[in-house]
Chains A and B, each alone.
Chain A
Amino acid sequence: MKVLLSWVREFVDIDEPAEAIGRTLSLRGLALEGLEPMGDDALMDFDVTANRPDCMSMAGVAREIAVVYGLPFRAPSMRVGAAGPGAPDAGAPAPPSPLPAMPITIESPDLCARYVGAVADVTIAPSPAWMADRLSACGVRPISNVVDITNYVLLELGQPLHAFDHARLAGPAIVVRRARPGESLTTLDGRPRRLTSDMLVIADAERPSAIGGVMGGADSEVSSGTRRIVLESAWFKPQSVRATSRALALRTEASMRFERGADPTIQAVAMARACELLAQLGAGTPGPAIDVHPVPHQPTPLHLAHARVQGLLGMPVPADEVRRILAALGFEVAPAPGGWSVVAPGWRVDMHRDVDLIEEVGRHHGFEHLPATFPGVEQAPAPSDPRIARDARARKVALAAGFSEAISFAFIEARHAGPFQGDEAAVALANPLSEKFAVMRPSLVPGLVEAVSHNRRHGRRDIQLFEIGTRFSPRGEMRAIGLAWTGLATPDHWSGGRRDVDFYDMKGVVEQLASLFDVELTAHPPAAGSVAAAVLVPGRAAALTSGDRCVGWLGQLQPAIGDAHDLPASDIVYVAECDLDPLSPTGIAPARMTTPLPRFPAAVRDIAMLLDESLSAATVRGTIRSNAPATLVSVTEFDRYLGKGIPDGKVSLALRLTFQAVDRTLTDGEVEAATTAVVEVLAKKLGAVRR
């Protein structure tokens, strides 16, 4: 809200410089957003919060200044006829002109509680410079004396006015009613508007000539040829104006004030002020105002208990101070048991409860007087979201494995989301900011690949990134961890050992994550149509399950997906994603009793078996386990060799077998027999040959 200091001074004798006023008001609820010195005047721009339409005028801001500085305020109702720029010397009022009566009918009193109308004969001309200058300074383009007067009163008092060309009104009559089916109106901006029956219109005897509280019609617009006008000063229901303004996507100075709530008591004052200005500028001769007021303003008294003021604010405010503040703001304050009975003035549409009054008292007494205290603790705090601690543990593992933490936007491009959706639909936004933020991410990996690409473009070769966050599907939200790794497996070192990241590097990290929560993951070839099959290179892709639940996937990213994120085709990127909720909803691995340390030594035997290359390690391990003696406690692959000395299609797999018994030391004979049994079962079931 742009406010001219000189204009404000017509309501309050404030001598402070604009800068000081701005600083003070900022601490009292009107934040100064801008300040433009204009000679001895100044243009102040205040940020008026949505609850304070009363401050969307010179008079409203002046009232706040008066309270803050303890100065008298000249109320608009007292001011009509008082001196202002361009005011004539006090003289005799113009004799009443024999203007025709204007019939005003309010058919929808629920949407229009009051309508003040007046007819005036006018001579259209430009406004005097002082008025045009004030309007321009406040960002309103001067048009003609009559239109400028309506805008001037709006800025001065906050009451929107409208002027119709009397000659263009059929009847002539004013009918305030809901639009009828099929009605339309071309508004002042020249655009045809289709009206609906929940919209309030100001009609003549036949058709709409304005959309109530929003904008006038082009047809009845005041033009250079206008000789006689009808002036409107009305109160429209905020919700109705707001709904209409939104439906038509049409916001005006008038609609902005009506939708927040205009003062229901100021319509006649504003009309008197406009008529006064018409006469003052020699712009016209107004007839008597007709005040149709079907729903009178009936404020409800609020009870304010004095104890409640301190009870809510935590600082004492003396009774005299409470009364002084409220009275200065225009409230009627009468003593009542334990406090006061308070009636809010018409312009304070934001007063509904005692807390609203307490805020007025608090801000004008000054929040700077608040002491710094602490709320008492009545009981032990309830537990926090268990995901916080769980995610923190997962984060530690990822960080220790060399991954840096990423945070990406949760909405991504639809084309990037597609391959990660599997057979599910996208969770798309109805009103995205742009194509880049069109759908909620079905996976954390596209965002990580985008980040890898960003870092590659900025000269990085070795990149490890992870993100813990929410992924979305039509089934809802899922907390997951995503990982991406490209470049070297371990940091470059002068001692050599350079190696690029491979499948097992990434798998190892995922296994560590799972073991953190005491979960065993099983890797399977991705099913056709699954996300893993769509986004990973075949043969270097795994779907991960825990029990019979699919919890994630890992493998080498399809180059086509990297390409969509502008990654060079030669880049090999390993990616993984794991849902955290199925791994551990609580973050706490189930408590396990410890096992006593073994009392008898273990025996270790290594065997090397020649197998079909197509046999998976899981098959070999499973075969051993399902046929092994009870003394076999672990099987570990420790070498896998293909090449020289190994026939085509075969692989040499070296296994370390550990045997142990809880009740005795195993004899060499027992261990040998058990080892031989393992070799034999592999030979029999898998056709393996011991090397």
Chain B
Amino acid sequence: MTTMDPSVGTDRARALFDEELAGVTSAAALQDLRNRWMARSGSWVAAFMELVASAPPDQKRALGRGANTLKKHVEAALAEREAALAATRRPAGAVDITLPGRAPRLGCRHPLSLIREEIGAIFSRLGYQVLEGPEIEDDYHNFEALNMPADHPARDMQDTLYLETPLTPAAGDPPTRGLAPRAPQPLTLLRTHTSAMQIRQMERHDPPVRLVAIGPVYRRDSLDLTHTPMFHQVEGLVVGRGVTLADLKGTLLSMATALFGPGQDVRFRPSFFPYTEPSAEVDIRCIRCNGGGCPMCKRTGWLEILGSGMVHPAVFEYVGYDPDEVTGFAFGMGIERVALLKWGVEDIRLFYENDLRFLEQFGR
């Protein structure tokens, strides 16, 4: 606090006031400051006014102007600070708005469920019906109608899990066409792909067909970084007049773009599946390195993502479609594979541990 001494002059007094005001943080301190500078008697301003009154007439005018300027400055600065202090004052009953809120607990989505839903939505948008179907199947729908009669070597490609005791299927709508036995067959195995559902659909409906079948499938694969005995598959089927392999390419390109963002490319490599001819493995341009080569794509610039092809005429004969009238394409993709690529997951087993530390990384 400064000692009052008007002999220092108004300019010096103003600088002293500003210094003191800068240190004021409370209403009480502000009142004290006001008293010492503005009180009717004994204050700085009062002292200056007395000085003016007692000055010789020729100095009165100049001293008076200086004193008035100081007074106005002090008044204005005090008012401004008073308003600023008022603005920061906590109203009665105020809460600490910086404490954490009471958040409702929200669950997290499972990544496989997210991808499954996303793919379903993509194909719904493209005008496909989305189907699920039974997980326990008969041999006819899982193998035979897909051009894999008993003892077909391709059955080795999918090591199958069988039931100890076959189940009796629920009575349902029998197939209306094709070579399927009209009586329901005993359910003997866990479906190795969702293709069985496609057969069931074709057996009951005329072409055109435009569907994806999604759901869990089962194979006798030991658990490792890239295999689980149960995994999820999405399989697409389009049948109609003039459906071509090029249509499949356009469709898959569009799916890849929807799943992984713009700028995708797909590559077809000839392959073999008993239920398609021609058959192709499909790669997408590596989403990590964009084709430049990286560990994820084993430096090839491409990522294998699905198997596909043109529906084999024998399959059409099994379901009672005329292979001279219609053509079709089909593709099958592992949902885990998409999730592994999309999120850079390195161990497929994480999808089945249901570890919350993992699940919480996929948002709510």
**Which A residues are within 8 Å of any B CB, using their own CB?**
26-29, 31, 49-52, 238-239, 242-243, 246, 259-260, 310-315, 353, 355-356, 358-359, 362-363, 367-368, 370-385, 387-388, 392, 395, 398-411, 425, 427-433, 437, 440, 448, 451, 454-455, 458, 460, 463-466, 469-470, 472, 474, 476-477, 490-491, 493-495
Q: Is the CB of A431 within 8 A of B246?
A: no
Given contacts A312-B245, A371-B246, A406-B110, contact A362 B162 (CB under 8 A): no
Q: Let me know if B185 is at the binding interface, CB within 8 A.
A: no
Besides A373-B244, A382-B211, 11 new A-B residue pairs in contact (Cβ under 8 A), listed by A number: A260-B153, A363-B270, A401-B105, A402-B107, A405-B359, A406-B110, A407-B351, A430-B162, A440-B190, A454-B354, A494-B100
User: What 1/0 flags go to B73-115 for Cβ under 8 Å of A?
Assistant: 0000000000000000000000000011011111111101100
Which residues of B have CB within 8 Å of A311? 242, 244, 327
Expressed in whole angstroms, the minimum distance between the Cβ of A111 and any Cβ of chain B is 14
Q: Is the CB of A359 within 8 A of B356?
A: no
Q: Is the CB of A430 within 8 A of B355?
A: no
Q: Select the residue from B112, B245, B247, B253 with max chain A CB neighbours within 10 A.
A: B245
Q: Is the CB of B251 within 8 A of A375?
A: yes
Expressed in whole angstroms, the minimum distance between the Cβ of A338 and any Cβ of chain B is 13
Which residues of A have CB within 8 Å of B157? 50
The 9 closest A-B pairs by CB, nearest first: A314-B246, A314-B244, A402-B105, A49-B272, A359-B278, A29-B270, A451-B354, A367-B268, A363-B270
Given contacts A28-B270, A379-B208, contact A491 B103 (CB under 8 A): yes
User: In the complex, what residue of chain B is closest to A455 when comparing beta carbons?
Assistant: B356
Given contacts A259-B153, A363-B278, contact A433 B222 (CB under 8 A): yes
Q: Is the CB of A405 within 8 A of B108?
A: yes
Q: Select the residue from A246, A362, A383, A466 with max chain B CB neighbours within 10 A.
A: A362
Which residues of A have CB within 8 Å of B124? 381, 384
Expressed in whole angstroms, the minimum distance between the Cβ of B243 and any Cβ of chain A is 5
Complex: A408 Cα to B354 Cα, angstroms: 8
Which residues of A have CB within 8 Å of B310? 312, 355
Q: Is the CB of B249 within 8 A of A372?
A: yes
Q: Is the CB of B351 within 8 A of A370?
A: no
Q: Is the CB of A313 within 8 A of B244?
A: yes
**Which of B30-38, B129-137, B288-296 is near enough to bind chain A?**
B129-137
Expressed in whole angstroms, the minimum distance between the Cβ of B349 and any Cβ of chain A is 10
Contact of A378 among B109, B208, B228, B230 (CB under 8 A): B208
Which residues of B have CB within 8 Å of A353? 277, 313
User: In the complex, what residue of chain B is closest to A246 when comparing beta carbons?
Assistant: B151
User: What 1/0 flags go to B253-275 for Cβ under 8 Å of A?
Assistant: 11000000000000111111000
Complex: A464 Cα to B106 Cα, angstroms: 10
Complex: A437 Cα to B278 Cα, angstroms: 36
Which B102-158 residues sit within 8 Å CB-CB of chain A?
102-110, 112-113, 117, 120, 124, 127-136, 151, 153-154, 156-157
**B interface residues, how many (CB within 8 angstroms):** 92
Complex: A470 Cα to B137 Cα, angstroms: 14
Q: Select the residue from A373, A399, A411 with max chain B CB neighbours within 10 A.
A: A373
User: In the complex, what residue of chain B is closest to A353 when comparing beta carbons?
Assistant: B313
Which residues of A have CB within 8 Å of B359? 404-406
Q: Let me know if B193 is at the binding interface, CB within 8 A.
A: no
Q: Is the CB of A407 within 8 A of B272?
A: no
Expressed in whole angstroms, the minimum distance between the Cβ of B75 and any Cβ of chain A is 46
Complex: A246 Cα to B156 Cα, angstroms: 11
Expressed in whole angstroms, the minimum distance between the Cβ of B44 and any Cβ of chain A is 49
**Which of B2-10, B51-59, B60-68, B163-171 is near enough to bind chain A?**
B163-171
Given contacts A314-B247, A370-B249, A371-B246, contact A387 B127 (CB under 8 A): no
Q: Is the CB of A384 within 8 A of B131?
A: yes
Complex: A618 Cα to B241 Cα, angstroms: 62
Expressed in whole angstroms, the minimum distance between the Cβ of B251 and any Cβ of chain A is 7
Q: Let me know if B47 is at the binding interface, CB within 8 A.
A: no
Given contacts A50-B154, A400-B106, A494-B99, contact A375 B243 (CB under 8 A): yes
User: In the complex, what residue of chain B is closest to A372 when comparing beta carbons?
Assistant: B250
Which residues of A have CB within 8 Å of B167? 427, 474, 476
Given contacts A353-B313, A375-B238, A378-B240, contact A407 B170 (CB under 8 A): no
Q: Is the CB of B277 within 8 A of A383?
A: no
Q: Is the CB of B229 within 8 A of A362?
A: no
Q: Is the CB of A388 within 8 A of B242?
A: no
Which residues of A have CB within 8 Å of B180? none
Q: Is the CB of A451 within 8 A of B353?
A: yes
Q: Is the CB of A367 within 8 A of B269?
A: yes
Q: Let me know if B40 is at the binding interface, CB within 8 A.
A: no
Q: Is the CB of B222 within 8 A of A371?
A: no
Q: Is the CB of A407 within 8 A of B112?
A: yes
Given contacts A29-B271, A385-B130, contact A405 B244 (CB under 8 A): no
Q: Let me know if B210 is at the binding interface, CB within 8 A.
A: yes
Q: Let me know if B312 is at the binding interface, CB within 8 A.
A: yes
Q: Is the CB of A404 within 8 A of B153?
A: no
Which residues of B have CB within 8 Å of A474? 165, 167
Contact of A429 among B161, B245, B360 (CB under 8 A): B161
Which residues of B have CB within 8 Å of A371? 246, 249-250
Complex: A454 Cα to B169 Cα, angstroms: 36
Q: Let me know if B364 is at the binding interface, CB within 8 A.
A: yes
Which residues of B have CB within 8 Å of A398? 107
* CB<8 Å pairs between A and B, sample of 17: A29-B269, A52-B272, A313-B278, A356-B277, A358-B277, A370-B249, A373-B244, A375-B240, A376-B242, A399-B107, A399-B108, A404-B107, A404-B359, A407-B113, A411-B230, A466-B107, A494-B99
Q: Is the CB of A431 within 8 A of B129?
A: no
Complex: A376 Cα to B313 Cα, angstroms: 20
Q: Let me know if B280 is at the binding interface, CB within 8 A.
A: yes
Expressed in whole angstroms, the minimum distance between the Cβ of B150 and any Cβ of chain A is 9
Expressed in whole angstroms, the minimum distance between the Cβ of B61 and any Cβ of chain A is 66
Complex: A370 Cα to B268 Cα, angstroms: 9
Complex: A399 Cα to B362 Cα, angstroms: 13
Q: Is the CB of A460 within 8 A of B356?
A: yes
Complex: A50 Cα to B271 Cα, angstroms: 10
Expressed in whole angstroms, the minimum distance between the Cβ of A214 and any Cβ of chain B is 15
Which residues of B have CB within 8 Å of A355? 277-278, 310, 312-313
Q: Is the CB of B352 within 8 A of A407?
A: yes
Contact of A454 among B134, B205, B211, B355 (CB under 8 A): B355
Given contacts A355-B277, A376-B242, contact A431 B107 (CB under 8 A): no
User: In the complex, what residue of chain B is closest to A350 when comparing beta carbons?
Assistant: B272
Q: Is the CB of B250 within 8 A of A388?
A: no
Q: Let me know if B12 is at the binding interface, CB within 8 A.
A: no
Complex: A427 Cα to B166 Cα, angstroms: 9
Q: Let me know if B14 is at the binding interface, CB within 8 A.
A: no
Which residues of B have CB within 8 Å of A385? 130-133
Contact of A405 among B113, B120, B154, B161 (CB under 8 A): B113
